[in-house]
Amino acid sequence: MTVATPVVLAEGLGHPQGPDVLADGSVVFAETYRGRVARFRAGDGVTTLAETGGGPNAVLAAPDGSLYVTQNGGQAGPWRSPDQRPPAVLRLAPGSYTSETVATEADGVPLLAPHDLALGRDGTLYFTDSGTWAPETRPDPGRLIAVAPDGGVRTVLNTGHTFPSGIAVADDGSLLWAECYTHRILRLPPGGEPEVLCTLPEEQLPESLKTGPDGTLWVAGLFAGGIVVLDRHGRQTDFVHTGGLPLNSVLADGTLYVTDLGPYDDSAPDDTAQMVGRLLAVAL
């Protein structure tokens, strides 16, 4: 794969995550530390679309122009927002981006910390409920959850204490997701049982997962400094070097957009909100 040098579109961001691309080519993303959904548009830079408070974790653009947002309540590792909110999935209305709550529980069980989002062809919204990031103690059980077009919310799968993070829907309707604690990429076929596609090396901690052309899977390898490209069977076929600490990515018209933690200072207290994140663009 021929890859251009990554271009920094924006920096000084507060833990940017879950980007998506709108019809006009602008990039929307969550800024966890700032409790907002932001937009980058060439010529305008970064602007605020919606103040969510808490800890927005990912943004997904729907065909009707609305945006779905995971609200983890106000956390990122040991960091806690001073503006705590109930863990939920939100919908921002087209144009006005006013917020409404889509889900706060599934099957009567309250959400812990929703993480990532994906949309099925039938309009079903899927999301991961990861819980609190604590790899040493692993306190929370994770879930894959579905919101039907009629608004019904149900648990698709209990993943156990694995911290399910990125989620995607394959062309055949299979659910694909990444587990940070186990480093596994898994698939759930329609009507089938979960199967492990692969287990990634330790440095390729799979923070997020997106589908690409021909069934490829694009995985943000947090400590590997880039995006791991897998085929539909889970075999690594390529690696896109981005540098930094990539959290999430999205493909659009031959460009890979990456949200990155930036030059994090490991000597700073773990609960410090370091505003050093970046939005990158890589021409493929």
pLDDT for the residue numbered 2 = 76
DSSP sequence for 12-75: EESSEEEEEE-TTS-EEEEETTTTEEEEEETTTEEEEEEE--S-EEEEEE-TTS-EEEEE-SSE
Spell out the domain ranges in the chain.
7-283
Burial class from Cβ neighbours inside 10 Å (0-12, 13-18, 19+) for residue 113 reads buried
* For the chain, percent of residues with pLDDT exceeding 90: 91
pLDDT for the residue numbered 260 = 96
pLDDT digits (tens, 9 = 90+) for 149-204: 999 999 999 999 999 999 999 999 999 999 999 999 999 999 999 999 999 998 89
Sign for the CA dihedral angle at 129, 135, 79, 281 comes to negative
pLDDT for the residue numbered 38 = 98
Q: What is the pTM of this model?
A: 0.96
Q: CATH 2.120.10.30: does it fit domain 7-283?
A: yes
Distance spanning both ends of the chain, measured CA to CA: 7
Q: Give the model's confidence band at 66: pLDDT under 50 very low, under 70 low, under 90 confident, else very high.
A: very high
Please answer whether residues 276 and 256 qualify as being in contact, where contact means their C-beta atoms are separated by less than 8 angstroms: no
**CA gap 115, 132 in Å, rounded:** 10
pLDDT at 4 over 90: no
